[in-house]
Amino acid sequence: MPINKFYKPSEDVQKGHYIFRNLKYFVKMKKLVFAAITFCAVFFFGCSSDDSNSPSFSGEWKLINVSGGLMGQNQNIPANSIVWSINPTTQVISIVNENNSSTYYDGLPTGIYNYQLQNDPNPMGCGTTLSIEENQDMGCILFENNHLIINSNYNDGFRMEFSQ
């Protein structure tokens, strides 16, 4: 039984025009797919995560509060009396400590110190710790409300809060 009895092609198909119609359809679809892919790429990758608003470990940080220790102290530090200048390129912290009081912990004395940031391998840990002069563990590095927190409360140490 010939196929023409069940299926009668249109006049365009009989003359070979279906190839051009399909080609036009294919080109239109190709343009639509390309436009959709371009839109998705711009939508997902066009926006960068600009972290310029979040603080970084570098720069000048002023100690504003010290808390913790065995006695549970909580001391606000006089403005600009203790300043840490942190240079991540040279991994050096320059400290100017003009504290004359011995009633509270004030960190390190005036000087220039080498430092290292180390990843805390403990999954329950803080993520990053600060080590001064290769052997003095200062504690965990955290950022809260644009403040730098160096926290060593986990070993009855102190929590030092800095602002820029």
Residue 30 lies in domain: 3-45
**Secondary structure class of 140 (helix, strand, coil):** strand
Tokens of 66: 């010290």
Digitized pLDDT (tens) for each residue of the chain, 164 residues in all:
555 555 565 665 556 555 555 656 666 666 766 666 776 566 666 554 444 445 688 899 999 999 988 777 889 999 899 999 999 999 999 999 998 888 888 888 999 999 999 887 776 678 888 999 877 888 899 888 889 999 987 667 889 999 98
How many domains, the chain? 2
155 with 106, same domain: the answer is yes
58 with 129, same domain: the answer is yes
39 with 57, same domain: the answer is no
23 with 94, same domain: the answer is no
User: What whole-number distance in Å separates Cα of residue 91 and Cα of residue 115?
Assistant: 6
Map 60-96 to HEC letters: EEEEEEEEECCCCEEEECCCCCEEEEEECCCCEEEEE
Distances 33 to 28, 36, 40, 126, 149 between C-alpha atoms, Å = 9, 5, 11, 46, 50
63 with 135, same domain: the answer is yes
Sign of CA dihedral 140, 144, 146, 151: negative
